[in-house]
Chains A and B, each alone.
Chain A
Amino acid sequence: EVQLVQSGAEVKKPGESLKISCKGSGYSFTSYWIGWVRQMPGKGLEWMGIIYPGDSDTRYSPSFQGQVTISADKSISTAYLQWSSLKASDTAMYYCARHRRGELLSAFDIWGQGTMVTVSS
């Protein structure tokens, strides 16, 4: 079964660092881009960035450039999203998703279950 499994919920204080993970299985992890999506409480989906685990080529949404770091460790089929200094406004659900590409096809077809990040003093 093709799946992405994300790390568990986190509760952090402002200023702390955090790294959440997304582990792929059931497919060739290095052959598909992995994207990250934020969903703040009660709000819509926001695309944050994307990484190609095969060579770690990474692209960021302008809204998130410099705010987070996306990385991957292909040896363990895992992508990461990290913050160096969390803010209360980072409180949200974060999803990873596999990007599938073909003729006119460019979509996120497999999604992780989400990781809830709560930042509160």
Chain B
Amino acid sequence: DIQMTQSPSSLSASVGDRVTITCRASQSISSYLNWYQQKPGKAPKLLIYAASSLQSGVPSRFSGSGSGTDFTLTISSLQPEDFATYYCQQSYSTRIFTFGPGTKVDIK
């Protein structure tokens, strides 16, 4: 089974900061990597698919990069509404999807 790890597990940042979250797969997953945002009490929301493609309606301050085993999610200028937990997910395995453990972004 493909295992996903994320770092850091949590971070504190200020509005306007540049934030980078890393996700690593236990084996190569090409570009089959998605990023989701989840706010407290809400369902997850798809931000980035195929490692670097922005989902419709998602602000351009969010970007993704990487391929193979190492991926990053970057928020170029953190906004108040971006404080949330972020999850990566691999979709390389046929019909088997695995989430990373999550990265909580909170206010410094």
A residues near B, CB below 8 A?
Answer: 33, 35, 37, 44-47, 50, 59, 61-62, 95, 97, 104-109, 111-114
Contact = CB atoms under 8 A, between A and B. Distances in A.
A62 B98 CA distance: 11
21 contacts: A44-B85, A44-B99, A44-B100, A45-B44, A45-B87, A45-B99, A47-B89, A47-B96, A47-B97, A59-B96, A95-B44, A97-B44, A105-B49, A105-B53, A106-B32, A106-B34, A106-B97, A107-B89, A108-B34, A108-B97, A113-B43
Q: Interface range on chain B: under 10, 10 to 19, 20 to 34, or 35 or more?
A: 20 to 34
A33 B91 CA distance: 13
Interface in B39-61: 43-46, 49-51, 53, 55
Secondary structure call for the B interface: loop
Contacts of B34: 106-108
Contact of A35 (B31, B38, B97): B97
A62 B93 CA distance: 13
A108 B46 contact: yes
A104 B30 contact: yes
Given A35-B97, A47-B99, A104 B46 contact: no
Interface string B13-53: 00000000000000000111010101000011110011101
